[in-house]
Amino acid sequence: MSGRVPVLKIGDVLLVSIQVDLEDQMVIDLQDDLSERIVATGARGVVIDISALEIVDSFVGRMLATIAAISRVLGAETVVVGMRPAVAITLVELGLSLNGVRTAIDLEQGLGHLRRLHGRSTAGR
């Protein structure tokens, strides 16, 4: 399956909800699309929802860390939400600690974290 992962804007946050298993090219395209959208919109936060992912390989894990690093350089903090226990276990077993990637249990907590980080509403409230 090929295609692009949609990037939605909510206030000054970009929301990426990954609903399909990621192929390597999709992750590369997401990195490019998200970088362009951060610059174009001036987003201050990025939430990546991976709750639909049952497995994450080492490439996808590294790319999540890379996406967070690129976002930070462009002025947006990244929070990964919805990580399943099996995904967390796999990442640890692969030796991927996702340094610099903030995590939260769900979307609500992720948005709350970004609001606290920026000291204001990030969802246009």
Q: Is the pLDDT of residue 100 over 80?
A: no
CB burial readout 27-51, b (16+ within 10 A) else e? bebbbebbbebbeeeebbbbbbbbb
Q: Which CATH superfamily is domain 7-118 in?
A: STAS domain (3.30.750.24)
Delimit the domains of the chain by residue range: 7-118
pLDDT of residue 58: 87
The Cα 67–Cα 48 span in angstroms is 10
pLDDT of residue 120: 55
Would you place residue 60 in the very low, low, confident or very high pLDDT band (cuts 50, 70, 90)?
Answer: confident
Partnered with residue 80 across adjacent β-strands are 48, 103
Dig out the tokens for 94 from the structure.
């692969």
Backbone angles phi, psi at 27, to 5 degrees: -70, -40
